Structure 1
Amino acid sequence: MPSAIGLKPLILAGVMALSLATAALAEDAPPPQADSLLERLDEQEGALRDFYAVREGRPAWQDVATVADFAAALRTLDTDGLNPLDYRPDALVTAHRQVYAEGSTPADRARFDLQASRVLLTALRHLQRGKVDPYRIDPDWEVPIEAPPLDLPAISRAVDAHRFEQAFAAARPSAPPYERLRAGLARYRHIERQGGWPMLPLRPEPLRPGDLHEDVPLLRERLAIMGELEVMVADLFAGVESRDTDPRRYDERLVEAVKEFQQRHLLEVDGIIGPQTREALNVPVSRRIDQIRVNLERARWLLHGLPDSFVLVDIAGYRISYFRPDGDVWRSRIVVGRPYRRTPSLRSRITYLTLNPTWTVPPTILREDVLPGVRRDLGYLWEHDLMVLSPSGQRLDPREVNWWHPGNVILRQRSGPQNALGRVVLRFPNDHLVYLHDTPAQGLFAREQRAFSSGCIRVQGVLQLAQYLFDDTGTPAHVATLVSEGVTRNISLERPVPVILHYWTVDPSEDGRLVFRPDIYERDAALREALDRPLPR
């Protein structure tokens, strides 16, 4: 029998082994709040429940470093134009400290875990789909947000590895325009931190090329800050002298910089500092920052699930792009609806084309434009080649119609080169009865700002676009031949082509510069207000 002295080491070894085994079991066992989490999951919304299902009920936010890194990541959401305070990063850190303090209960910790995960999923949804519901601020909105579902297993792994920026990057739209807008936002915020740019005094007289004026040094500084031309930056900061030694001279190089500024702001490109150009130059950098933030939100609505080939109508930019299946892009100018007859935002599919169309006057145009003209002078009908028809299509004598109470008469314009729709119409289903079409008023395409229509979109060179659609969809039709025949006919595309009508007031060009457009429909303010509205607690 071993002595007491000999048993002592054995007993100590046994106690140590038992302690290690107990510790290992405790490490594998779920923490106390796991049971509380499981009890509460049935009450949670789907995404939160699914997140913990992926984790098999494991808590996500026990470690103080995890919460601290998450809070730091939330503070970076201002780079996407979102407000980090909406997600209360400091409050998360404070709450974690409190619930893991002595005396807290597993239920307290479970509630915190759910709340932190809810904040994470909210931030990811905002990055992916936008914070603001577009249907709430635009009654005419018809563009479904087609963002893919969140990758919850990847998000769970990112939480465990403290890789929150990786999760944010996966949620953001991956399209290059979104990253260009983010880069532009960072640039303009840097300019704001440096004090912004100088304002030009308001003056009634325009500044013209060659003028000698005291505003010119301010103008040169204003353009140099934005880098409208690299040479302008060099002139200001490297001491390069212009050919005219008088700094008040509005010289050639400065005129070229102003023309570039005008082009990027959809102003008349004439080099003259008139009221509109001066107003655009004097927009504070803070307003430009707000404009970029608003358009980042619009990008989150749109830049998901885009097809490889589609037609994109840029309403505020007055242009159209057709992304062809072979990778080429056809672009052209457009005329859009006037501010009181806005072209809507929508997503649809071009299904057929009408060649040599007639034009039936829509009810709004009939009531607000045509009837007042006819009442003033019956010759309005002949001047615009309008036939008067009964609801059944029977031709009526205009002199026998009471134009103050015309009833349900229909006015229709015959096909031909002077028809309001021109020679071709691209049709797509939508509740607003808008479409893409040709126009006899080709001169309007020369204007920089082109909001002149009654809602439909007039397209410069639309016959070429029509032929591309026929060719790319395998539709056997030759536009020029069919138009020359003069017969009104509808031709269905063998495959519908997606079309998106969208409103951007900032366009990120491929060279990284931002093109600012006038907010012709005054939509930015409502979106900015909604974007800045705090989230409910």
Structure 2
Amino acid sequence: MRVIVAIGVLLMLSSPVSAALTEGDEVLPLSRELERQLEGESDELQAFYAARDARPAWQNGEQVAAFAAALHTLDRDGLDPQDYRPDRLLAQYRQLAADDEARARFELAASRSLLTALEHLQRGKVDPYAIDPAWEVPIRAPALDMASVSQAVDGQRFEQAFEQARPDYAPYERLRAGLARYRNIQRLGGWPTLPERDVALRPGDVHADVERLRERLAIIGELEVMAVDAAQDRPDPQRFDDALAAAVKRFQRRHLLEVDGIVGRETRAALNVPVARRIDQIRLNLERARWLLHGLPEVFVLVDIAGYRLSYFRPSGDIWRSRIVVGRPYRRTPSLRSEITHLTVNPSWTIPPTILRQDVLPKVREDLGYLWRERIQVLSPSGEPLDPWSIDWASPGNVILRQAPGPNNALGRVVIRFPNDHLVYLHDTPAQGLFARQQRAFSSGCIRVEQAETFAQRLLDDTGTERNLAALIASGDTRNVSLARHVPVVLHYWTVHPSEDGALAFRPDIYDRDDALLEALDRPLTP
């Protein structure tokens, strides 16, 4: 940065227009030229110069050099500084002609770079709709305070302007810190890879690979491994001891692997992901954070799809968390933003056409008794009951299958509903055993919630809806219960989760979304 600033100072002293750019009697004609060239420009650019009364912003080489240096720091947010052309700005300033028209063109070019950088910090570089047609999460970034941005430019406090644009939430800062940490690991040479073996590494083993495993976990901050080494006067580094097994379990838990302390095929593969790939994952999730982390209310429900977790931020300040089951890779749970409006207690389940065709009909064709065991009623399109024996199940036509309420209903005892175009919702489930799995993409798109009844009762209590869920369930009646106050809900997809202690948890990209986003994020901006 010092080098760039020094170059800028030399430019200021040597440029034929540097004096004109700083002399008061030259500002007025340049301002008039700026006003002329601003016609037809973007609303943001016009708002910036309106906040300055059309005063030029880039009046000397030192200021341009400081701005270029600040643009180079945007790699800390996972953005590519070259998208904002800092080096070209310096070169253009050096070659700048003395006439007002050329100076105004440079003014607008520099300000466009600034506003583009601020927009990307605030809303993301990539348009989520361009890579996910099913995207349903409006980006609610507030308008920039152009007067404050203008003051930051005048004072060469560019980081202050960047900070105004960044999402003001702790997870974003934790991801930035994680990006810096993993880039430092890369600068130091990365981490060792474990050779492919047919046999898993297990606690108690003595093997040369154990030493590489110990080093690998120490590099990413499994401090307990290093501390135990010191406390026990450096035990045999090739022995897979209890402390190392505990570190492996922590790694497995963070990466949603089976937590057994054994380095088998999946754990070895996760350990061997190159640090460059982990850096890319952090960058992608910084971009996702820029899409989402704006205007979040204090009370809301966050569904972390790739992390299989629901977090309910309650009015008390407490956070209620639960494990969830999400859609299979070919029946993806969508990203969306809505409001929980009501609950359905003792729901029936009208089997959706896709599930009917792909899942249920094959079972019915094999054994018609499946309908009775699952308490599924056959209905006509108008809702009239039909005799299952009268149906040609090889070609059943437009029949409707509806499962009766009860403990074995696929939706369980309660459904939490919110309007959306994908017809998904949160619900209970009789298949409680799936919550014991680390990776839980088993549904047809809706979200199954562990302890759904507890969650639903908290929603009732926190919204002032005076109903007792247990009593409603015990009645056996199907009924909708409207919440006295709606609760915002966000379904979002993260493949890196920054925990409160700063550790990063990397999740499998179950919907194969990372590569498309990385390609779009790394695509250079058109001039």
Moved over 6 A (4+): none
State whether residues 334 and 422 of structure 2, in contact with CA within 8 Å, keep that contact through their aligned partners in structure 1: yes
1:416 alignment counterpart: 406
State whether residues 228 and 243 of structure 2, in contact with CA within 8 Å, keep that contact through their aligned partners in structure 1: no
State whether residues 267 and 277 of structure 1, in contact with CA within 8 Å, keep that contact through their aligned partners in structure 2: yes
RMSD: 1.5
Letter in 2 for 1:41: L
- Shift of residue 83 of structure 1? 0.4
- Shift of residue 291 of structure 1? 0.3
Indicate whether 1:67 and 2:64 are aligned: yes
| Structure 2 Cα separation of the partners of residues 247 and 119 of structure 1 | 52
What are the equivalent positions in structure 2 for 1:182-261 lying under 5 Å apart? Answer: 182-228=176-222, 230-234=223-227, 241-242=233-234, 245-261=235-251
Letter in 1 for 2:124: G
C-alpha spacing 1:173/1:214, structure 2 compared with 1 (3 Å): same
**Given the alignment, which residue of 277, 302, 314 partners 1:324?**
314
1:7 alignment counterpart: none
State whether residues 339 and 520 of structure 1, in contact with CA within 8 Å, keep that contact through their aligned partners in structure 2: yes
| Structure 2 Cα separation of the partners of residues 330 and 428 of structure 1 | 19
| Structure 1 Cα separation of the partners of residues 23 and 155 of structure 2 | 22
C-alpha spacing 1:227/1:357, structure 2 compared with 1 (3 Å): same
1:130 alignment counterpart: 124
| Structure 2 Cα separation of the partners of residues 58 and 88 of structure 1 | 23
C-alpha spacing 1:31/1:64, structure 2 compared with 1 (3 Å): farther
Q: Deviations over 1:11-54 (max 9, x none)?
A: xxxxxxxxxxxx9x972562532221111111211110111111
| Structure 2 Cα separation of the partners of residues 343 and 38 of structure 1 | 49
Q: Deviations over 1:463-497 (max 9, x none)?
A: 11111111111111001111111111000011111
Indicate whether 1:370 and 2:355 are aligned: no
- Shift of residue 377 of structure 1? 2.2
Indicate whether 1:49 and 2:85 are aligned: no
- Shift of residue 246 of structure 1? 3.4
Secondary structure of 1:343's match? coil
1:167 alignment counterpart: 161
Secondary structure of 2:420's match? coil
Indicate whether 1:96 and 2:86 are aligned: no
Indicate whether 1:180 and 2:174 are aligned: yes
State whether residues 214 and 237 of structure 2, in contact with CA within 8 Å, keep that contact through their aligned partners in structure 1: no
1:32 alignment counterpart: 29
- Shift of residue 391 of structure 1? 1.2
State whether residues 227 and 233 of structure 1, in contact with CA within 8 Å, keep that contact through their aligned partners in structure 2: no
| Structure 2 Cα separation of the partners of residues 27 and 525 of structure 1 | 52
| Structure 2 Cα separation of the partners of residues 497 and 367 of structure 1 | 34
Secondary structure of 2:95's match? helix
| Structure 2 Cα separation of the partners of residues 180 and 217 of structure 1 | 30
State whether residues 428 and 452 of structure 2, in contact with CA within 8 Å, keep that contact through their aligned partners in structure 1: yes
1:150 alignment counterpart: 144
2:290 alignment counterpart: 300
1:356 alignment counterpart: 346
2:105 alignment counterpart: 111
- Shift of residue 168 of structure 1? 0.2
Q: Deviations over 1:320-368 (max 9, x none)?
A: 0000111111001000001110000000011010000000000110111
- Shift of residue 160 of structure 1? 0.5
Q: Deviations over 1:106-131 (max 9, x none)?
A: 11110010010011000000000000
What are the equivalent positions in structure 2 for 1:3-22 lying under 5 Å apart? Answer: none
Q: Deviations over 1:56-93 (max 9, x none)?
A: 11111121111000000000000000000111101001
Secondary structure of 1:215's match? helix
| Structure 2 Cα separation of the partners of residues 352 and 414 of structure 1 | 20
C-alpha spacing 1:232/1:26, structure 2 compared with 1 (3 Å): closer
TM-score between both structures, scaled by the size of structure 2 = 0.94
**Given the alignment, which residue of 444, 464, 484 partners 2:434?**
444
| Structure 1 Cα separation of the partners of residues 473 and 266 of structure 2 | 41
1:140 alignment counterpart: 134
| Structure 2 Cα separation of the partners of residues 75 and 31 of structure 1 | 32
| Structure 2 Cα separation of the partners of residues 393 and 507 of structure 1 | 46
1:459 alignment counterpart: 449
2:114 alignment counterpart: 120
25-34 vs 516-525, greater mean Cα deviation: 25-34
| Structure 2 Cα separation of the partners of residues 81 and 398 of structure 1 | 59
Contiguous gaps of at least 5 residues in structure 1: 1-22
Letter in 1 for 2:214: R
Letter in 1 for 2:132: D
Letter in 1 for 2:263: I
- Shift of residue 382 of structure 1? 1.9
| Structure 1 Cα separation of the partners of residues 367 and 288 of structure 2 | 46
| Structure 2 Cα separation of the partners of residues 27 and 82 of structure 1 | 37
Q: Deviations over 1:394-451 (max 9, x none)?
A: 1100111122222211100000000000000001101111100000000110111111
Secondary structure of 1:99's match? coil
Larger Rg: 1
Q: How many residues align?
A: 507
